[in-house]
Amino acid sequence: MDETLGNERAPLENGQECGYGPYYRRSSSLRSLNAISSSSLTSILVRKVRVKQGTLRYRRNDENKCVDVSKDYENYFNATVLEKVNTERRGPEIYPIEEEFYPALYRLLAARRNWGPTFQFRGRSTFMLGVMEWTKRVLTRFEEPLQQAGIFGAVGVSQFPYHFDANVWRAFCELWGPLTNTLHHGAGEVGISLYDLERVGGLPILGDIYEEFLPQNKDLVGHNKYPATVVELLRIHAELCEFHKAKHIYYDLWLDHFYREYLVYFAYGEQTDSGKEKADTKNRSPPRISRQKRMADLSITAEGELAAFLAFWLSRFVLRHDKEVIRPETFVMAALMASGQRVSLAPTVLGYIYHGLGDAASNPDYPGKANTIFPIHYVIGWLAELFPCLYRRRPDSDCPDDFPTLVCYAGLLGSKLSLPQARHIFRDGRYLSLRASSYREDSRNGRDVIDMGLPEEDSKFFLSIRSAVLPSSSTAKAHNGSCTSPC
């Protein structure tokens, strides 16, 4: 992000800074930056070709011709394709295999090390007082804009906790390749795709690019460059910081400010042996999310309330960071989605997952010491679909139809396995259930692709199976990750 824009407090109606609250670091949207890439940095060889227009047909029984281009038309269109690379001749010399290619297990064996005494992976959704109540109210009151933004189901699954077994996670991370971003299992390799994130987590693939930034006050006030709810959230955030004498607003304070009704849920799903996620219900009359004093004023528009929830959802569930605070840099994207605009969340989340798993797999000491943080719950849902023996799955009849498959594992404990048992499951191809997200039956008919006018479902699938670089830009980190085929 560009840090040359300086720091400003929240704006008043005339665009001037208010006299209270913290100073917010201002930054520009990536769309306003002109980047010039050097040819020496190109890692993927591409070439321009002329392709005949025609019809794509899905051939499920022929792996060599799973997509067949008919030749019924004489016209051509220009396309960019990947260049074929022949590694059979002098392959190891031209493309030497570096140590980062191997999964974490290679480094553990080479260094004669184990996982060590620590095991730190953060970012998994756990039970929190008030989240289920606020989420249910938002789903009821704002169904239309959430459906328009394509995140109704993605928001619905965020209210639940998700569990994982430490030994299963260790065995999984041992076989994760940080260079290829794939799991090296007993039958080959498999990677998390954009299509997986949509099917498992309900995250949109198409839409405006997701990015976290906070424009200057002069760009926020006086014109329609950004939604008015951005200023609304910024002022409330500044007022809460002033009221609580704090520089940041933690999840519970933000939640306690916007949800003021009685609490109903004090636990959800199966509990771990330690019971750490059980809520303390003692001395709560009436029940409160936070014991701190509450700011009285709750003046906010309906769209502003939805944007406030989506900022909470982005900060806590979708792109969680090390500090459990509301990130003001999410306000722009939250406001856009609150207005019904679709934002492409899946590429950023997938890049974030790749970065977190890569940090753990390539840690020079012990993978458990990486202390990485990323939305683990999406990986839990993907693993559960790929290896059904790891989790019990609720029947589809017990789950809402408009929620993604992650809801089938909400609150359920994973299989309690020893480390040797978990390793055996990942290394024996018989336990693998391919494919966790296959091309849907109703999309296997011929599709006319003249002028590349693909239906949305087909566009998402073909976008997901091509190799690409995923931009993952957020307040704390900005990084790229390679996207592999979902097959």
Read off the pLDDT of residues 325-360 as tens digits, 9 standing for 90 and up. Answer: 999 999 999 999 999 999 999 999 999 999 999 888
State whether 298 and 408 are in the same domain. no
Which residues constitute the domain of residue 179? 98-126+161-207+344-483
Give the CA diameter of the chain: 77
373 in the same domain as 242:
no
Confidence band of 476 (pLDDT split at 50, 70, 90): very low
Check whether 112 has a pLDDT greater than 60.
yes
Lowest mean pLDDT among 17-21, 180-184, 466-470: 466-470
269 has a pLDDT exceeding 80: no
Average pLDDT, the chain: 79
Instruction: Determine which of 88-102, 311-325, 420-434 has the lowest per-residue pLDDT on average.
Output: 88-102
Last residue of a domain, one of 308, 341, 374: 341
In this prediction, residue 471 carries a pLDDT of 46
Position 38 scores a pLDDT of 52
Does 317 share its domain with 417? no
Asked whether residue 403 is assigned to any structural domain, the reply reads: yes
Q: Does residue 88 belong to any structural domain of this protein? A: no
**Do 120 and 184 fall within a single domain?**
yes
Does residue 235 sit in the same domain as residue 315?
A: yes
Distance separating alpha carbons of residues 212 and 332, to the nearest angstrom = 7
**Same domain membership, residue 292 and residue 247:** yes
At 462, is the pLDDT very low, low, confident or very high (cuts 50, 70, 90)? low
Domain-embedded: residue 289: yes
**Are 286 and 381 in a shared domain?**
no
Q: For position 345, what pLDDT does the model report?
A: 96
When mean pLDDT is compared across 155-164, 267-276, 413-422, the lowest value belongs to: 267-276
Spatial separation of the C-alpha atoms in residues 213 and 225, rounded to whole Å: 14
Domain C-terminal end among 341, 370, 401: 341
Q: What is the pLDDT of residues 61-103, one digit of tens each?
A: 555 554 455 555 556 666 666 666 555 666 666 666 666 677 8
Give the strand pairing for 372-373 and 121-122. parallel
State residue 222's pLDDT score: 78
Is residue 304 a part of any domain in this protein? yes
Assigned domain for 154 exists: no
What value does the mean pLDDT take over residues 12-30? Answer: 87
Beta bridge partners of 346: none
Do 233 and 303 have their domain in common? yes
Is residue 20 situated within a structural domain?
yes
Q: Which of 302, 317, 341 is the last residue of a domain?
A: 341
Q: Assess if residue 136 is contained within a domain.
A: no
pLDDT of residue 166: 87
Are 372 and 455 found together in one domain?
yes
- What's the pLDDT band for 19 if we cut at 50, 70, 90? confident
Same domain, 471 and 404: yes
pTM above 0.75, yes or no: yes
pLDDT on residue 451: 38
Q: Are residues 441 and 477 in the same domain?
A: yes
Residue 228 has pLDDT above 90, yes or no: yes
Give how many domains the chain has, as a whole number.
Answer: 3
Q: Are residues 64 and 108 in the same domain?
A: no
Structural domain contains residue 38? no
